[in-house]
Amino acid sequence: MTNHSPVENLPVVTYNTLPVITTDMLAQVYGTETIRIQQNHKRNGDRFIAGKHFFKLEGDELKTFKNRLSLSESVGKRARSLILWTERGAARHAKMLETDQAWEVFEKLEDCYFNQRQSAEPPALPRRWLMSVDSDGTQKATPIPDDAYVMNAQEFLSALAQDARVDRKLLADFIIVATQRLHQGYEYFRRKSQSMM
């Protein structure tokens, strides 16, 4: 059995601004082996919902996460995936382990780990703007919502090539509108440059 470490000393790991805990960290504080947590997850897969009880990181998402993580030594260099447990997922594991220690530690996780982010002010995100020019030359700046996914043309095409599931009609509509807006911008700047001559 692994020696459990105090919850107060755990480095807080966040994913999408939510406090999460790795499988290794969870096993360590619950005083069990990592394999027990993994087995409980595998044997009770229908009781764990992705996005609610855990997040599974793979590929580029995992690489990016590991690069920003200060505890990258706890994530194997060759790991192809990583499970991050939410507060609800950690609670399910405490219930499955059925030990007094797991429940005591979970209470500390609730008080000291998962809830400490709720009292802190979330970091301000830089404001992003969509700049456009109408056919009459009117420039417009529209704020982009914080939850919007923004990518450049190369990233968009790369995502499409990597098995992105996009409705063809929506894609065609998007391309038509994007082409029209590019043409409008081009015409505006062409007229403006001609009037300067």
Query: What's the confidence (pLDDT) of residue 43?
Result: 92
Q: What stretch of H or E contains 81? A: strand 81-85
Residue 43 and residue 108 in one domain: yes
Residue 165 and residue 105 in one domain: no
Residue 84 and residue 137 in one domain: no
First to last CA, the chain: 81
Query: What's the confidence (pLDDT) of residue 37?
Result: 92
Query: What's the confidence (pLDDT) of residue 55?
Result: 92
Residue 21 and residue 88 in one domain: yes
Residue 48 and residue 11 in one domain: yes
Among 69, 90, 119, the domain boundary falls at 119
Predicted model pTM: 0.55
Total domains, the chain: 2
SS3 at position 62: helix
Query: What's the confidence (pLDDT) of residue 174?
Result: 78
Mean pLDDT per 10-residue segment, the chain (197 residues): 60 84 88 91 90 89 74 63 90 87 84 64 61 72 74 71 68 82 80 77
Tell me the residue length of the chain.
197
Radius of gyration of the chain (CA): 24
Q: At what angle do helices 34-43 and 87-97 cross, to 10 degrees?
A: 100
Residue 26 and residue 80 in one domain: yes
Residue 14 and residue 110 in one domain: yes
Residue 29 and residue 112 in one domain: yes
SS3 at position 136: coil
Q: What CA–CA distance (Å, rounded) separates 155 from 153?
A: 6
Q: Which two tokens stand for residue 46?
A: 């229908």
Given a contact cutoff of 8 angstroms between Cβ atoms, the answer to whether 30 and 93 are in contact is yes
Residue 52 and residue 137 in one domain: no
